[in-house]
Structure 1
């Protein structure tokens, strides 16, 4: 199985408000940056979208390590919150959670919590890209 590292981040100006998401995918010597935004969203939706869009770029099952500063996402998988949320019908962001859970099942995924706005270079790069998407939508 190919080993891929993915750094992700989401940003929102207002919550809800204009949002951006970004991811940096690493495989061997290859690096790919992706980003996008939405005009009316929330920070959590952007965090989820970053992970989803990154996983959608993988063309085959991979061993993936996802680095995120989102406790919402990382704790959900570490503590298996999604099981209870699934049983209760996903009260928040059901569309994104269903899509993310399906994508995670296609790969071996490990989630790692990183401290946001610290010395994690690629997390900072994702933050920069996500905020740039917000600025594009504000213009």
Structure 2
């Protein structure tokens, strides 16, 4: 009984760390572009079945899988709200291409004078 009381804080800290670091795949996939429903769970499952994944990461993905599933379930309203968004909004590449089209960058580059460094020297 004394051991339980003595290590109670350590057990609480260990449980807090386990819960705080779980669902990593879900958190990482929800910070980027919209990837549909249950993206963290899919990422963990793909890591488990992928032959290119390291043997050291597979146990971590296995531990993370149920926590990511729970977190993905809690974030379903967020995923539903983002489902109607255009994927190009979340893509930096698509935003740059769209901005270049609006600014007519390619036309301006074609009309620009060549750099002096690229010109033949007399």
Q: TM-score when scaled to structure 2? A: 0.28
Larger strand percent: 1
Q: TM-score when scaled to structure 1? A: 0.26
Larger helix percent: 2
Which one scores higher on RCO, CA 8 angstroms, separation ≥ 6? 1
